Amino acid sequence: MVAKVYGLLTGAGIAAVVIFGFNAWRHVSDEDRLMSVLSDHCLPYVKTGATPFEEMGRSAGVYERAFLSDQFSDGGHKILFDGRFVAQWVNNVDGDSAVRVCKVDYSLNSAGSVGFDFDTLDLVAWIDETIADDNDLVFLEGEIGPMPTALAWHSSDAARFEGLRIALTAQDTGVSGILVVDDVDP
């Protein structure tokens, strides 16, 4: 009887270690999610028109209260990361000008944290190192504090409201909104 108990405890202990290791190995941080949204989905969409979020997320259901902007009615949308975020994108043509826009906002229906949680102390430097350098962007303005504020980057070779632009709504606890815009030929 004692041998059976020891065998059961040993098996349970090994299973617990394996499960803990697997969960630690497959953990995806919000920093990784933010980087994926920016570099794998929004930036390629606004630069090339490649459909974002094809392999992730889901469309809003009939009874789901996803707050979708009317300005994106001709584009697409997805609910991301277990309903924490709503992504929308559109190729907007207005006369002689056209822009591609990719927007990811915190879902007000989410019970989770308000946005992408961040452990990185200096978000601006982190974005500069990971996104801005590769895309020739310069930091425009913004300072992180306890209240939500806008952080903005724009193309170094274009006017402030032309070319590639990235704006983040952030505070000292994380990022709750992303907007990526680029001019395209109409």
d(CA 165, CA 161): 8
Task: Give ∠ CA 169-154-80 in degrees, rounded to 5.
Answer: 40
What count of residues does the chain have? Answer: 186
What are the structure tokens assigned to 54, written together? 């094809």
d(CA 161, CA 148): 22
The residue type of 30 is D
Backbone φ and ψ of 66, nearest 5°: -85, 130
* pLDDT at position 110: 58
| Cα separation values, 164 from 22, 71, 126, 138, 180, Å | 39, 19, 18, 10, 7
The residue type of 145 is G
Residue pLDDT tens, the chain, 186 long: 667 766 766 766 676 565 655 555 556 677 888 888 888 899 999 889 898 988 887 877 766 666 777 666 677 888 888 778 888 898 877 767 788 899 998 876 655 566 777 765 677 888 888 787 777 888 877 777 788 888 888 888 887 778 888 888 888 778 888 899 998 876
Q: Give pTM, 2 decimals.
A: 0.76
Q: Find where tokens 């990971």 sit.
A: 130
DSSP SS3 for 36: helix
